Structure 1
Amino acid sequence: MADLVIKDLHVSVENKEILKGLSLTVKSGERHALMGPNGNGKSTLLAAIMGNPKYTVTSGSITLDGKDVLQMSVDERSKAGLFLGMQYPSVVSGVTNSDFLRSAINARLEKPISLFKFIKEMDKAIEQLEMKPDLAHRFLNDGFSGGEKKRNEIVQMMMLKPAIAMLDEIDSGLDVDALRIVSDAINQCQQQTDLGLLIVSHYARFYEYLQPTHAHVLMDGQIVVSGDASLVEKVDQDGYEWIEKEYHVTANKEEDKQPISLGSCGAKKYA
């Protein structure tokens, strides 16, 4: 069992406060939908949890199973069991997918994974995501289509078996078939490992496939309303305006979302 606990978190970017006292708990086996208009802090939250140096935590706490995440380096957070699937995966030429993943997996283990077991697990993950068999020998995201990059993020999640996985709009740009394939893989991974999920998306169809156990709306740097999967349906039908009126909050209308870079996912440091 894993518990990711965030309490009264304040985060700034270039001296501008983005998160303003956010609190959230994600446990093993749970699926949390994190919604909200662009520019209100969703990606900032994930980046801060993973330790992206562009995001400054000014106060508050993040713990994983009682351990202070804020005192960990990015790679230590990955080793502890945190994973970030990025909306804009970076290209790493010269490093194959298999070399990257073996290094990342072995960094978490006392005894290195056997080559036979690694190949077997990677072949299974590649087949599950319906990707080409040569994926293992291709350079990390080099020459990949947008959809291939997203699927490759899920291959990495399946191989690394994190305790808590955060997925930042991993569904954006996927066609209907690819969305189903990715969703099925995420569901199967959780069933096998009991990982906790924190999922950012703007699309109800993706959440329909994943069936969140919890749902939250983040506006102006705070979670203003939480509920179950029915909250996803209401937001899909009615948008966010009713939340602004009912909870007396004004959403940030600015499009200030920045792509999360390679260094924000701890596993990527091994590339």
Structure 2
Amino acid sequence: MTTFEIRGLRADVLIGAEERQEILKGVDLTINSGETHAIMGPNGSGKSTLAYAVAGHPKYEITEGEVLLDGENVLEMSVDERARAGVFLAMQYPVEVPGVSMSNFLRSAVTAVRGEAPKLRAFSKELQESMKGLSIDPSFASRGVNEGFSGGEKKRHEILQLELVKPRIAILDETDSGLDVDALKVVSEGINRAKANNDMGVMLITHYTRILNYVKPDFVHVFAGGRVAESGGPELAETLEAEGYERFVKVGA
């Protein structure tokens, strides 16, 4: 059983050399193995800041609080140490890495996380099976990382990484954005498959309820004003779909 705890987390975004703005204003959240927590909220509420601050993005500075993975404070780890410890971030806007093939990138990532290089034949089989499950053309394995990929293809690649590195906690930052209905189903199936195979905890950041029709949340949290404003079960997402975020924007302000 893995326990991921965010305690009293406050963080600033660095705007310039001397300017900063506080975005996270005391976030408390606990995710256990096998649980899916949906983080929903209006634009500008700090959802993506939470994801990147936990992952260690240099643009965000933690000013207070802890992020514990089975009692260890990941904020004291470097970015690569956080990944090896089992924290995974699927980015909202995956970057292109020209000149580095997808297969080499993924094998390097798997090697770093597992601590040893997988045998080439076994890894090739594992990669091909995962790509097939995500309806990714086999030719993409030799292409540069995300180079020339559509938005949907980039999101599938993020979930391909998720399936291969097998984290303990997956933070998925608006993985559903830019996906058509068919791609949304494929990506959701990949998330569910990775969760079932690895018993990982999932923090699913989204604006919309449509992905929650395929990736069923155990808990839904409304994020507003840099903190968790309300928590509940799946029914809370239905309320948000019907009523919107207006009352939370007023509270957050």
Give the TM-score range, shorter chain: over 0.9
Q: CA deviation at 1:244?
A: 5.1
Specify the alignment match of 2:108 in structure 1.
103
Greater RCO (CA < 8 Å, at least 6 residues apart):
1
Which of 33, 38, 61 is residue 33 of structure 1 equivalent to? 38
Q: List runs of 5+ in structure 2 lacking aligned partners.
A: 15-19
* 8 Å Cα contact 1:4-1:164 kept in structure 2: yes
1:169 and 2:174 equivalent? yes
Specify the alignment match of 1:257 in structure 2.
none
* 8 Å Cα contact 1:126-1:135 kept in structure 2: no
Which of 88, 95, 98 is residue 93 of structure 1 equivalent to? 98
- How many residues align? The count is 248
* 8 Å Cα contact 1:8-1:61 kept in structure 2: yes
1:212 and 2:217 equivalent? yes
Specify the alignment match of 2:72 in structure 1.
67
AA aligned to 2:252 is: T
**Distance in 2 separating the partners of 1:29 and 1:224:** 24
TM-score, normalised to structure 1, is: 0.89
1:159 and 2:161 equivalent? no
1:201 and 2:203 equivalent? no
Which of 174, 188, 196 is residue 183 of structure 1 equivalent to? 188
* 8 Å Cα contact 2:225-2:249 kept in structure 1: no
* 8 Å Cα contact 2:27-2:227 kept in structure 1: yes
TM-score, normalised to structure 2, is: 0.95
Paired-residue identity, %: 50
AA aligned to 2:107 is: R
**Distance in 2 separating the partners of 1:202 and 1:166:** 15
Specify the alignment match of 1:250 in structure 2.
252
1:3 and 2:6 equivalent? no
AA aligned to 1:21 is: G
Q: CA deviation at 1:142?
A: 0.4
**Distance in 2 separating the partners of 1:25 and 1:250:** 21
Q: CA deviation at 1:112?
A: 2.0
* 8 Å Cα contact 1:216-1:223 kept in structure 2: yes
**Distance in 2 separating the partners of 1:59 and 1:28:** 25
Which of 227, 233, 240 is residue 235 of structure 1 equivalent to? 240
* 8 Å Cα contact 1:90-1:141 kept in structure 2: yes
**Distance in 2 separating the partners of 1:111 and 1:140:** 22
Specify the alignment match of 2:129 in structure 1.
124
SS at match of 1:148: helix
Q: List runs of 5+ in structure 1 lacking aligned partners.
A: 252-271
* 8 Å Cα contact 2:40-2:208 kept in structure 1: no
